[in-house]
Amino acid sequence: DAGITQSPRHKVTETGTPVTLRCHQTENHRYMYWYRQDPGHGLRLIHYSYGVKDTDKGEVSDGYSVSRSKTEDFLLTLESATSSQTSVYFCAIIPRELLQETQYFGPGTRLLVL
């Protein structure tokens, strides 16, 4: 258990509304990541963070923004949700800053955009 929680766990929203997903970790990990998972595509990286106020874009960042004002929280915002953003969103951390460490995931958020 890497001490990661995500909120909300489920959300239904309408096209055009803003949505913010939260990833919270309790163990002071520096590296945090947001992914989306869709059938046939696997996990795709949206944004990642190397520390407070240090974020960068991943493979599928269009339509998403992130913020990290505290070590423990990494927020993902859909500025204006679209139906193509219906997905399962996972937050992940790397438990240590060693290059060979792999990732541990939060429980996920299921988002449905109508």
Partner 1 sequence: RKEVEQDPGPFNVPEGATVAFNCTYSNSASQSFFWYRQDCRKEPKLLMSVYSSGNEDGRFTAQLNRASQYISLLIRDSKLSDSATYLCVLLYSSASKIIFGSGTRLSIRP
Task: Please tell me whether residue 94 binds partner 1 under the rule CB under 8 A.
Answer: yes
Name the pairing type of β-strands 104-105 and 4-7: unpaired
Task: Please tell me whether residue 71 binds partner 1 under the rule CB under 8 A.
Answer: no
Cα(54)–Cα(56) distance, rounded to whole angstroms? 7
Task: Please tell me whether residue 52 binds partner 1 under the rule CB under 8 A.
Answer: no
Q: Where are the alpha helices (DSSP H) in the chain?
A: none
| Residue from 54, 80, 107, 114 binding partner 1 (CB under 8 A) | 107
CA-to-CA separations, 4 to 95, 102, 103, in angstroms, rounded? 11, 15, 12
Task: Please tell me whether residue 104 binds partner 1 under the rule CB under 8 A.
Answer: yes
| Residue from 48, 66, 74, 76 binding partner 1 (CB under 8 A) | 48
Q: How many residues bind partner 1 (CB under 8 A)?
A: 24
C-beta of residue 89 within 8 angstroms of C-beta of residue 31: no
Task: Please tell me whether residue 31 binds partner 1 under the rule CB under 8 A.
Answer: yes
